[in-house]
């Protein structure tokens, strides 16, 4: 049995320091759930192939307030900045805490508002926050998710105003940088944020992760996004940190006919679990989920997706592709739920994989739960190796084996890469991938 008493201690500390805050009862309720459920082991149906319990053999420190953090120099921050950062809204989190001194909100107040959750609960947004914060708890009923909720603290609430500019152009991109500072301690980071895209708003969000230092780090991060009628949300997640252990949850709640385009990209990491939920709670939602995992070493990536069709006439498309080399292991679990009301659902899912080594593996599983009768659902998965005929064809034209391989792998990844809509972000990602595959162009 893992000794989690240090977590209890931290929890008591947090509650004691924020006794009257609006979030206290949410935390208490979640902590009770955490105590009851514990860390999921391999016997838990949703965690069968991803061992997170052994990540808790360490005793981690958690930062309970932002003020205790300091000493990350500018050059490090610049090295992790995403392209176009100088005209983006940039939010920096260190060890799970929002650091306003590092962050820059360049949008005006009538475009986008960023305030801390406790502040939001005292503002005009209180009703919105109360209604939506924790919506994901209904869908992720395990100790890990409860653990994050137990430590909800100073995360941010972001209100995206309806679009003011020309139709077609977006607000500034919104960048989240999650930094684990593990120079002195093993760290557990638990960011928890909420975005509310108001009716008719448009926003493009990217979350990226970085580590400084060599001690162990575990990030258990949750972002909830409420997407109102006629809102348009693009979302990108970039995971490219060696040895970073991560449980990363992105929960979209489409409350009216709206558009979501979400993509997660994993190039490096230790043990990674991504939960991506799309709750289609409005008639005629249009939703697109993409993922690419290109992993080697002993990296483990588990992509759990859920598309819950609750209203009629929703369209969803899901495509995840993976390339696993050396001892890397992948998991894809794609659940599509079509509720009784959700007639004329059109849901498409596909997962394609290439294994480059005999030791690499993938577990892929579609899960369809359909309670309506007039629906179109399709799913498929493939697991293959590099096409030898294509390899030989390239080599016979004088392209060296290593480059031929890189060219074919990049081609395999291409139909995900083209789904990164902002040019500069796509170029940035393509470069990361070329570097990984040693393509010199």
Partner 1 sequence: MLLIQDIHAETDGKKILKGVNLEIKAGEVHAIMGPNGSGKSTLALVLAGREEYEVTQGRITFFGKNLLELSPEDRAHEGMFLAFQYPVEIPGVSTTQFIKTAVNENRKYHGEAPLDAVAFLKLMKEKMRLVDMDQSLLTRSMNEGFSGGEKKRNEIFQMAMLEPSLAILDETDSGLDIDALRIVAKGVNTLRNENRAILLITHYQRLLEYIVPDFVHVLYNGQIVRSGTKDLALELEEKGYDFIREESESSVSATQPENISKT
Q: Contact residues for partner 1 (CB under 8 A)? A: 387-390, 392-401, 403-404, 407-408, 410-412, 414-415
Q: How far is the CB of 413 from partner 1 (least distance, A)?
A: 8
Considering the complex, what minimum distance in angstroms separates the CB of residue 299 from partner 1? 24
For partner 1, which is the closer residue by CB, 12 or 387?
387
Q: Report, in Å, the least distance between residue 293 CB and partner 1.
A: 17
Cβ nearer to partner 1, comparing 387 with 423 = 387
Residue 177 or residue 412: which is nearer to partner 1 going by CB? 412
The smaller minimum CB distance to partner 1, of residues 337 and 410, is found at 410
Q: How far is the CB of 401 from partner 1 (least distance, A)?
A: 7
**Residue placing its CB nearer to partner 1 in the complex, 223 or 404:** 404
Which is nearer to partner 1, 247 or 416 (by Cβ)? 416
- Name the minimum Å distance from CB 397 to partner 1: 4
Q: Looking at beta carbons only, is 28 or 402 nearer to partner 1?
A: 402
203's tokens: 């926003």
Report the nearest approach of partner 1 to the CB of residue 267 (Å): 18
Shortest distance (Å) from residue 418 CB to partner 1: 10
Min dist CB 391 to partner 1, Å, is: 9
φ, ψ for residue 45, nearest 5 deg: -50, -40
Nearer to partner 1, 2 or 391 (CB): 391
| Spatial contact of 158 and 175, defined as CB atoms under 8 Å apart | no
Task: Residue 59: count other Cβ atoms within 10 Å of its Cβ.
Answer: 13
- Nearest distance in Å: CB 315, partner 1: 25
Strand partners, 288: 261, 317
Residue pair 421/205 in contact by the 8 Å Cβ criterion: no
- Least CB distance to partner 1 at residue 388 (A): 8
Residue 149 backbone dihedrals phi, psi, to 5 degrees: -60, -30
Based on its alpha-carbon atoms, the radius of gyration of the chain, rounded to whole angstroms, reads 21
Torsional class of 326: left (φ above 0), alpha (ψ -120 to 50), beta (otherwise): left
CA distance 285 to 259: 6
- Number of Cβ within 10 Å of residue 5's Cβ equals 9
Nearer to partner 1, 170 or 407 (CB): 407
Residue 380 or 400 having the CB closest to partner 1: 400
């Amino acid at each position: 049995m893992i000794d989690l008493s240090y977590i209890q201690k931290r929890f008591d500390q947090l509650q004691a320091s924020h006794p009257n805050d609006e979030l206290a009862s949410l935390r208490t309720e979640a902590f009770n759930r955490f105590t009851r459920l514990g860390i999921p082991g391999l016997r838990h149906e949703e965690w069968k192939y991803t061992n997170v319990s052994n990540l808790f053999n360490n005793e981690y420190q958690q930062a309970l307030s932002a003020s205790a953090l300091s000493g990350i120099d500018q050059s490090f921050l610049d090295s992790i900045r995403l392209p176009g950062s100088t005209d983006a809204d940039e939010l920096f989190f260190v060890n799970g805490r929002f650091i306003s001194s590092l962050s820059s909100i360049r949008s005006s107040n009538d475009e986008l508002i960023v305030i801390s959750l406790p502040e939001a609960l005292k503002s005009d947004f209180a009703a919105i926050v109360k209604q939506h914060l924790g919506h994901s708890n209904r869908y992720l009923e395990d100790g890990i998710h409860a653990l994050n909720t137990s430590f909800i603290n100073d995360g941010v609430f972001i209100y995206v105003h309806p679009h003011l500019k020309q139709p077609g152009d977006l607000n500034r991109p919104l960048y989240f940088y999650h930094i684990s500072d593990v120079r002195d301690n093993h760290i557990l980071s638990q960011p928890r944020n909420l975005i509310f895209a108001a009716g008719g708003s448009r926003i493009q969000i990217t979350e990226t992760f970085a580590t400084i230092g060599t001690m162990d780090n575990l990030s258990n991060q949750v972002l909830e996004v409420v997407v109102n009628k006629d809102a348009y949300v693009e979302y990108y997640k970039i995971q490219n940190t060696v040895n970073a252990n991560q449980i990363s949850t992105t929960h979209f709640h489409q409350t009216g006919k709206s558009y979501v385009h979400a993509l997660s990209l994993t190039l490096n990491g230790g043990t990674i679990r991504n939960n991506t939920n799309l709750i289609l709670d409005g008639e005629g939602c249009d939703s697109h989920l993409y993922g690419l995992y290109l992993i080697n070493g002993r990296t483990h990536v588990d992509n759990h997706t859920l598309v819950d069709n609750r209203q009629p006439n929703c369209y969803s498309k899901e495509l995840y592709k993976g390339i696993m080399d050396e001892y890397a292991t992948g998991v894809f679990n794609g659940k599509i739920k079509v509720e009784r009301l959700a007639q004329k659902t059109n849901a498409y899912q596909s997962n394609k994989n290439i294994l480059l080594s005999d030791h690499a593996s993938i577990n892929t599983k579609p899960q369809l739960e359909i309670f309506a009768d007039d629906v179109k659902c399709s799913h498929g998965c493939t697991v293959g190796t590099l096409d030898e005929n294509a390899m030989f064809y390239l080599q016979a034209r004088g392209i060296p084996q290593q480059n031929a391989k890189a060219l074919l792998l990049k081609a395999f990844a291409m139909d995900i890469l083209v789904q990164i809509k902002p040019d500069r972000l796509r170029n940035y990602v393509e470069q990361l991938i070329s570097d990984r595959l040693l393509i010199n162009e």
